[in-house]
Amino acid sequence: MTADSVDSAHALTNPGVNSPSTVSAHFSAITYARGACILRMTQHLLSEPTFVKGLRKYLQARKYDVAEPHHLFEALDFAAAEDSALASYGGITIDRYFRTWSEKAGHPLLTVT
C-alpha cells in the first residue's frame, strides 16, 4: 500500500475510463497492487469459503458477458449475507466496503481513540 500513499495515486474505479487508450493510461502498479491487496483483505474479512462462494457466483453470473464493479460487489454481498459473514460488523455491505477502497485515491485513514 506504499504506492497508494503518493500524490499521483488514483482511484481504481473511474467512470471516465471508457476507451482503449484511457484504459491503458489508467493501469499502473497502483492498480494491480491495490487491487490485489483489497481482494486479499476481503478474503480475510469474509472467510475464504464465503469469498470463494461469492467469486463463483460472480463468474457464473457474468460468463460470456461484460462485468462492472457492482456485479462483483453484489455477488460477494449475496455470499456474505447467506453465510452471515458480516453480521458482527454493524450492517456494512461489501458494496460500501469496496466503494471506500475503489472510488477514492489513496487509502482510508482510520483513527482509533
Residue type, 36: A
- Cell 454481498: give the residue: 77
Q: Is the pLDDT of residue 84 over 90?
A: yes
pLDDT at 103: 73
Q: Provide the 3-class DSSP secondary structure of residue 36.
A: helix
Alpha helices per DSSP H over the chain: 20-26, 29-46, 48-62, 69-83, 94-102
pLDDT average, residue stretch 68-75: 92
> Could you tell me the pLDDT band of residue 25, with boundaries at 50, 70 and 90?
low
Least Cα distance to 97 among 29, 30, 51, 48 occurs for 51
Q: Are 17 and 50 in contact (CB under 8 A)?
A: no
Q: Which of 18-22, 45-49, 66-70, 92-96 has the lowest mean pLDDT?
A: 18-22
Question: pTM of the entire structure?
Answer: 0.76
Q: Are 34 and 63 in contact (CB under 8 A)?
A: no
DSSP state of 47: -
Q: Which of 2-6, 55-59, 81-85, 98-102 has the lowest mean pLDDT?
A: 2-6
pLDDT at 102: 75
The tens digit of pLDDT for each residue in 29-39 reads 777 777 888 88
Distance CA 10, CA 58 (A): 25
